[in-house]
Every structure is written in structure tokens, then in C-alpha cells.
Amino acid sequence: MAEPGGPGLDPVIHAASRLRVVATLAALVPGDKLSFPRLQTLLDMTAGNLSTHLRKLEDAGYVVVHKTHEGRTPATYVELTARGRRAFEQYTETITALLGGAGR
């Protein structure tokens, strides 16, 4: 039976919406965070949809969700973990290798 997403492709990242989340966070300097509303706007996702995908990424240890307050207003920030960054790098290496043979 074939692996979900193809051979060697991380099924957690391979889902299109989660891939977009991880790719966006991977573009940040390690340790930087994006606010939930900013990430939602960048990805043009509903709050519920983004929350669902963040939970799966969080369960895999790929992102950390920081909940805090700015004054009296709740604020949520999302950060890619070192594990998530490594997983994304491995994913991109695998997809690049798979696509490298596509033109042959």
C-alpha cells in the first residue's frame, strides 16, 4: 500500500492547507512568530479552518501556538518549531528529488 502523499512525503505536511501554513512560517527567521490574524489573512483561510490545521501541526510538534494578552485583548501567535523546520526541509528535499526525475 502506498504511503499517503507518496513515498517519503510527510502526510502531516503534505495536506495542501498545512503545507501552506508550514511554508509561510518557514519563511520567517527561526524564533519569529506570526499573529493568528496575520497568518489567517496571508493564507486567506477561515479562523476555524486555520485552527484545525494548526492543531494537527501542533500535535505533530511542528508548530507552537502562544496564547497571551496584549492589554486586555487576547492575542495568539504561531511559531514553527525546530522539528517543524526540519520536517519541512526534508519534505522539500523529497519533493525536489521526486520532481527531478519528472522530465526524464
pLDDT digits 0-9 by tens, 39-67: 999 999 999 999 999 999 999 999 999 99
Residue 3 belongs to a domain: no
Residue 2, pLDDT > 80, answer: no
Residue 84 belongs to a domain: yes
Residue 94 belongs to a domain: yes
Range of the domain at 43: 11-98
pLDDT of residue 100: 85
Residue 59 belongs to a domain: yes
Residue 36 belongs to a domain: yes
Rg of the Cα atoms in the chain: 15
Q: Can you give the CATH number for the domain in which 67 is found?
A: 1.10.10.10
Residue 37, pLDDT > 70, answer: yes
> pTM of the full predicted structure?
0.87
Residue 24 belongs to a domain: yes
Residue 2 belongs to a domain: no
Amino acid at 58: E
- Calculate the dihedral angle through the C-alpha atoms of 76, 77, 81, 87, rounding to the nearest 10 degrees: 90
CA distance 33 to 15: 22
pLDDT of residue 14: 94
Cell of 15: 495536506
Number of domains in the chain: 1
Residue 27 belongs to a domain: yes
pLDDT of residue 60: 98
Q: State the chain's mean pLDDT as an integer.
A: 91
